[in-house]
Structures are given as C-alpha cells and as structure tokens.
Structure 1
Amino acid sequence: LTYMIFWMTRNSRLIRGELEEKIHTTVTKGYVYGVAVLAFVAVAREGLETVLFLTAFAVQDFAATLVGMVVGVGIVMGLSFLMMRGIYRLDIRRFFKYTSVLLLIFSAGLFGYGVHELMEAAEHSGVEIGPLAAHAYDVNPADSASIFHEKGVVGSILKALVGYDGNPEWLRVIVYLGYWAVVGGYLVRSYRSMETLPVSVKDSSKVVSGAASPRKSPL
C-alpha cells in the first residue's frame, strides 16, 4: 500500500494522457482484441480475489456475508453508472490525490496493527518490551457491548478498516504517528510541488490526451 501511495503520487500528473495515448495507438494499429483481453484479465483477477476473500467470511457468517455482497454489488453498479455518465469530467489527478490519502489511512492502520501483533507474539515468547508495551490511553467504554467499544458494532468496523484501537500501546502510537509523519509529509510536499509547477507541465496530460484523440472522418 505504501508503494502504491508513492507510485500514484509520482504518476498522477501524466497517467491519464499516457493511458489515452497508448490506447489510441493500440486501437489505430488494429489491436482492439488486445485491449479487450487486458480489460477481461484485469476484471477476472479482481473477481477471483473477491471470491476468495468472501469465501473465508462466508464460512464464518454466510448471511452477513451475503448481505454485504449484495450491498457491495449495488454500490458498484451505481458508481459504474455514474462514471459512465460523467467519466469525461473525472479529474484523474484529483482522484489519485484523494485515493492516496485513503490508502494512507488504511496502511497506517495496518502498520500499527502489525506492530501490536508482533508485541503480543514477543510477550508470549517471554520477551520483555518494557514501558513501550504499556497502554498510552484507554477510551473503551466499560461495557464491551457498547457500539463505541473497539469490539462493538462501530468499533469493530473501524478496527477492520483503519486499525482503530481504544487502548493502544505506546509503541503502536509512536509507530502510527511516525508513519503518518513520514508518508503523510511526503504526500503533502509532493502535491504542493505539483501546485507550483507551470501550467504547461501540470496540464501536459491534457495536451497529450488532446493530441492522441482520434480525428473524425470526413465521411
């Protein structure tokens, strides 16, 4: 996820123009089936991953997994319809920017959770971590059934998505904040430098896109 953040930050300015140029070149050379096969393989790969992912959850709770799957398919169909109606207005650079922030939230949570699991494994092995293993704070309600508890309805969802923890260890907090400082700082500097670039450089994707667009036939 971290590498994906860096890649999206570096390529967000030119990705749209490059994609449209390459697709136009491929189509004009008669390699339409190649584009179709590429799209099919990409969708099939993601579909296979989704099936494997949902199968693991279906074994634990089939009804809840089925409901989530139906809701997810409905959301995807709605978003696909909106994109097909307004895809020409989609700002790829801005889309990558917001997606990078979302990936940053997910990856920071995963990083912190990984540190937590390593600390537990170390303690089970008899390794003393010291003060860093102490809880930095505890905001969990006394009743674990509360929706705001990390094991409650809302808390468990936040824990799965962004690595929420109501009573994290000091080491986890330090690592989490450090990840945000390093990767988040890189994102801020990168996007600020993009805003200060000349217009001709920032809009180069549009220039390439316009140059690559097919001409209308006089017929």
Structure 2
Amino acid sequence: MLAPFLIMLREGLEAALIVGIIASYLKQTGRAGWLPAVWIGILLALALTLFVGAAVQTLASGYPQKTQELFEAIIGFVAVIVLTSMVFWMRKVARSVKSGLHQDIDAAFSGQGNTALALIGMVFFAVAREGLESLFFLLAIFQQSEGLAVPVGALLGLLVAALLGYGIYVGGVRLDLRRFFRWTGVFILFVAAGILAGSLRALHEAGLWNSLQTVVFDASHVLPLDSILGSVLSGVLGYQETPTVGEVIVYVAFLALTLPWFLKAPAVSPSVPARSIG
C-alpha cells in the first residue's frame, strides 16, 4: 500500500500544483470567469486516463499465460522509463514551472486563437501527463501484486494529494516542496528498481530470458513473501525471497546509475511558495 500511496500522492500533488497555479493566476488577473475551462481540461484528462487504462487491460486479457507474462514485462519496462523520467523532469523544470505557466496563460489571452481551447489544452496536457504516468505504474504494480492494498493505497494517495493541493491553494497548508519532491524521488527510484527486476522475472516466465537464473539466496524461511513484512517489502521495493543473479544485477545497477545522478545536483525548489500556489 505504501508504494502506490506515495507515488499517487506525488503525482496527484504535481497535477494539483499545476492546476492551482493556473487557477490562481486566472483569479488574480481578473479572469476567474474562465475557470470552467480548467475543470473541462481536468475531466477530459481523467477520461483519457481511464480510457487508456481500460484499453490496455482489455488487450492484456484473454491471451495465453506466456503472452500475458510478456505483456507484464513490457508494462513494467514502460513504467520504469516513465517513473525515472518523471523524477528527473520534475527536478529540472520545477524552478521555472510557475513563470512558464503564467507566460502561457498571458499568451493564450493575447493571441488570436481560441482562449478557452488554449486553457483547456494547458490543463488537459498537464493532468493527462500525470495521469498516464500513474497509469503505467499502477498497471505494473497490479500485475506484480495481489489484493486490495494497491488500489486502496492509490486512492488514499490521490485523496491526500487533492486535500493538500487545495490547502496550498487557499493558503492554509505549508509544505516544504523541495524536500517532498527530493525524497519521494529517491523512493520512486527504489520502486522503479523493483519493477525492473520483476519485469526481468516476467521475461523469464514468458520464455524469452533464460540467462543468469542462479538463485542468489533463499530467504523463504526467514522472510517469506506471504508474511506481513515480506508482503510490504515486495510491494514497496520489489523484494523477492529467491532472487536470481539477473534480478539482483539489474536492481543494483539501476540504483547505482540513477541515485547518484539524481542526488548529485542540488534539488531545486518549485517556484510555488510553500504557503500558496498563487
């Protein structure tokens, strides 16, 4: 539950911050009458995310077991790419996201095009990006986990993100966004490493990867997957009680490459004040 909760919290808060910046700037500049366009953009983005999710799930069902394992591996690899690019993208653009959105809004009102469509498009693409990123992560976790913990954790994360986003927007919540995005970024990289190792395992089960299958250790008697702690570690960090050499290599190599790179540059603080989005 922890992994989907934190990732959906981060994704939801990113979307809430962007939407809040747009809504706050419209209100401050006397353009509050255009706020319905913001809601239309949000609803269209949510509809797209749900449609893509349903389409992917439909395509995955009804195939032979090995084909489903291959599909699981592909979804996992896509999720790793999306999660990794997400944390590095946010680190890169966080400082300029507010000023950039303000410029885009001003351009939408000063241009000759349809202002409503421009605003809807801004919100749509911002929320759709976060929604599709979350979708591939959740699909990968759903395929590697069982039970209600994943959907419950994801829904709780979205709920808390919405509450925090609104609290920041109205000025009643203070949040250190620099530290939040930095440490959730580190956590997401560990989650991505676990998904990557699980995807390699799925490739083996699909019959496409048969190298480096020697079991490194067997912790089934000490920390079995069906125990509470084993289940938590599996859902959060991709823990396996009998990892193979290949899974350990990709797990360690991924973290060895991404963590120093992510932590090397000082984390930048979003230009959004912790007290208010406006």
Normalising by structure 2, we get a TM-score of 0.48
Matches within 5 A, 1:1-219: 1-26=83-108, 31-32=115-116, 34-36=118-120, 38-39=122-123, 46=131, 65=148, 73=155, 76-87=158-169, 89-122=174-207, 129=211, 132-141=212-221, 148-191=223-266, 205=271
**SS of match in other structure, 1:140:** coil
Paired letter, 1:139: A
Distance 1:188 1:44 in 2: 27
Structure 2 segments unaligned to the other structure (5+ residues): 1-82, 273-277
Q: CA–CA distance in 2 between the matches of 1:3 and 1:77? A: 24
Task: Tell me which amino acid in the other structure corresponds to 1:6.
Answer: F
Deviation at 1:120, TM superposition (A): 4.3
- For 1:117, the aligned partner's letter is A
Stretch deviating more after TM superposition (70-79 or 16-25): 70-79
Distance 1:68 1:181, change over 3 A: closer
| Structure 1 gap ranges (5+) | 143-147, 195-201, 207-212, 214-219
**Alignment partners' CA distance in 1, 2:151 and 2:219:** 32
Q: Please state how far the C-alpha of 1:75 moved relative to its aligned partner.
A: 5.2
Partner of 2:67: none
Q: Which deviates more from structure 2 when the two are superposed, residues 158-167 or residues 82-91?
A: 82-91
For 1:179 and 1:10, the matched residues in 2 are separated by: 20
Cα distance in 2 between the residues matched to 1:139 and 1:75: 31
TM-score for the superposition, normalised by structure 1: 0.59
In 1: Cα distance, 2:180 partner to 2:100 partner: 16
- Alpha-carbon separation, structure 2, partners of 1:161 and 1:42: 27
Query: 1:101 Cα shift?
Result: 1.5
Structure 1 runs (4+) deviating above 6 angstroms are none
Q: Percent of pairs identical after alignment?
A: 27
Alignment partners' CA distance in 1, 2:204 and 2:253: 17
Q: Distance in 1 between the 2:245 and 2:152 partners?
A: 40
1:203, 1:76 → 2: CA distance? 22
Larger Rg: 1
Contact 1:12–1:93 at 8 Å: present in 2 too? no
Q: Which amino acid aligns with 1:149?
A: P
Query: Does structure 1 retain, via aligned residues, the 8 Å contact 2:197–2:247?
Result: yes
> Paired residue for 1:209?
none
CA–CA distance in 1 between the matches of 2:155 and 2:103? 31
Q: Distance in 2 between matches of 1:71 and 1:170?
A: 31
Q: CA RMSD in A?
A: 4.1
Q: 2:95 aligns to what SS in structure 1?
A: coil
Q: Relative to 1, partners in 2 of residues 1:187 and 1:154: Cα closer, same or farther, differing over 3 Å?
A: same
Q: Which amino acid aligns with 1:17?
A: S
